Structure 1
Amino acid sequence: MPDYRIIIDLSDRQLYLLDDDVVTQAFPVGIGKMVTQTPTGEFTIINKQPNPGGPFGAFWMGLSKPHYGIHGTNDPSSIGHIVSHGCIRMFNDDVLALSKIVPIGTRVTIRP
């Protein structure tokens, strides 16, 4: 049984998918602006929703910190930049691929 977890490294703007502590995939992400920084710490994925509407792209995965999540975007040029209101933005194809792999309850570590 896979033991998935996610590490988001804000300094290099990458999301790493680990299986049993081995990095299996890496994805570029957009992160929070200076005034709306992405929170650091330990969280879990608490819900998943396809096609959430608005600026959230093709998929939303809510984190255990209220109002924060990992989601797609309708502005792909923002990926790799410091642009969001604190959420983790991914390319729609990437967030869809990730959402098929990680279950609700997956641990998410966000580090500076």
Structure 2
Amino acid sequence: MPVGYSIRIDLSDRKLTLYRDNRIVRVYPVGVGKLATQTPHGDFKIMNKVPYPNSYRGGPLTVYGTFWMGLNKLGYGIHGTNNPASIGKYVSKGCIRMYNRDVEELARMVRIGTPVKIRA
């Protein structure tokens, strides 16, 4: 029986790797938390998926990019960005930032409940 998708985020390499049945499907560059607001380490799950999240989260039109996938750690998620230059850097308030096209692609493949492992 297939295992399905899972996500591993390597904070030191600033990469998100998507697995299916324990095989690498895609590797995406990401922006992660800065020193003062580090991305949490641990095992999480995707709890919700929201296209064009800014209207739902009360933020300016482009702060969270074109898609938000919330984790089961309140206030943290994987989302797009209006600042593509931030990808690959330590810049966020703890969330995982992706290029909008990448987060949209990822969101089409994973389901709510997908495991997310975040490691240093």
Bin for the TM-score computed over the shorter chain = over 0.9
Identity rate of aligned residues, in percent? 56
Could you tell me how far 1:60 is from its partner in structure 2?
A: 0.1
Give the match for residue 38 of structure 1: 39
TM-score, normalised relative to structure 2: 0.91
> What do you get for the CA RMSD once the two structures are aligned?
0.9
SS in 2 for 1:94: helix
Q: Within 2, Cα distance between the matches of 1:99 and 1:3?
A: 14
Greater than 2 Å deviation, 4+ residue runs? none
Give the match for residue 89 of structure 1: 97
State the number of aligned residues: 112
SS in 2 for 1:49: strand
Could you tell me how far 1:101 is from its partner in structure 2?
A: 0.2
Could you tell me how far 1:2 is from its partner in structure 2?
A: 5.9
Decide whether the 8 Å contact of 2:70 with 2:76 is kept in 1. Answer: yes
Q: Give the AA of the match of 1:73.
A: T
Specify every segment of 5 or more residues in structure 2 that has no aligned partner in the other structure, as ranges. 55-59
Correspondence 1:17 to 2:25: no
Give the match for residue 48 of structure 1: 49
Could you tell me how far 1:58 is from its partner in structure 2?
A: 0.3
Q: Give the AA of the match of 2:23.
A: V
TM-score, normalised relative to structure 1: 0.98
Could you tell me how far 1:65 is from its partner in structure 2?
A: 0.5
Whichever of the two has the greater Rg, that structure is 2
